[in-house]
Amino acid sequence: MAATELDNDATLERILAEHAGMEGPLLPILHAVQETVGHISPAHVARIARALNLARAEVHGVVSFYHYFRQHDPGRHVVHVCRAEACQAMQGEQTEQHAKRELGVDYGGTSADGLFTLEAVYCLGNCAAAPSVMVDEKLYGRVTPERLTAILADWRSR
């Protein structure tokens, strides 16, 4: 396999070194790559596969299996809207629809201004204060459409 630019990527090499000797290191490595780089590219996959003595297909298979891992950069913030039952019981579908309208995208999409990527999530564990939304790592409860508008405005102004 031809060497790619990313083979020399210092960040990736550092991450690989940090995880050397770890049991079952693949998920922690993928988390670290996504956290620092923002996404996991085919070049990352190739380099990680070589470091762990796995086939590229095996690593790609893991990246594509899990909802959380992404192969392209998201918007500046990721908005997770809960679709699960407890949120539905509190009119969460209205919040979902509102999020799609306000950001002008469906799940998986990024708003035109590049600020927000919208993702569906199945339970944020905030079911006694439904509907729930999480922006990056900040969790919000009782998110009505009006409250969602205010939350997004707050993030836009940051």
Partner 1 sequence: MAVRIYISRDAAAQALGADETTAALQLAAASKGTSITLTRVGSRGMVWLEPLVEVENASGQRIAYGPVTADDVPGLVKAGLFGAAPHSLRLGRVEDMPWFAKQERLTFARVGVIDPVSIDDYVAHGGYAGLRRALGMTSAEIVHEVLESGLRGRGGAAFPTGIKWRTVLEQDSSRKYVVCNADEGDSGTFSDRMLMEGDPLCLIEGMTIAGIAVGATKGYIYLRCEYPHAGHALREAIAAARARGYLGADVCGSGKAFELEVRMGAGAYICGEETALLESLEGKRAEVRYRPPLPAIKGLFGEPTIINNVISLGSVPIILARGAAYYREFGMGRSRGTLPIQLAGNLQRGGLVEKAFGVTLRELLYDFGGGSASGRPIRAVQVGGPLGAYLPESQFDTPLDYEAFTAIGALVGHGGIVAFDDTVDMARMARYAMEFCAVESCGKCTPCRIGSTRGVEVIDRILQGVEKQANLVQLESLCETMQHGSLCGLGGMTPFPVMSAVRHFPGDFSRDR
Judged by the rule CB under 8 A, the positions of this chain that interact with partner 1 are 23-28, 30-31, 52, 58, 61-62, 65-69, 80, 84-90, 121-130, 132, 134, 137-142
Q: Would you say 42 or 141 has its CB closer to partner 1?
A: 141
Looking at beta carbons only, is 73 or 112 nearer to partner 1? 73
Compute the least distance from the CB of residue 99 to partner 1, in Å: 16
Q: Which residues, other chains included, contact 10 with Cβ-Cβ below 8 Å and sequence gap of 6+?
A: none
CB-wise, 38 or 66, nearer to partner 1? 66
Residue 5: CB minimum distance to partner 1, A: 25
| Four-point Cα dihedral 133, 87, 121, 105, nearest 10 | -70
Give dist(CA 23, CA 134) in Å, integer.
31
Q: Across-strand partners of 119?
A: 80
Q: Tell me if 14 sits within 8 A of 48, measured CB to CB.
A: no
35 by Cβ neighbours in 10 Å (0-12 / 13-18 / 19+) ranks as exposed
Q: Helix, strand, or coil here: 73? A: coil
Query: Which residue's CB is nearer to partner 1, number 56 or number 142?
Result: 142
Closest CB 100 distance from partner 1, rounded Å: 17
Cβ closest to partner 1, residue 50 vs residue 142: 142
Closest contact distance (angstroms) between CB of 14 and partner 1 is 19
Q: Minimum Å distance from CB 123 to partner 1?
A: 4
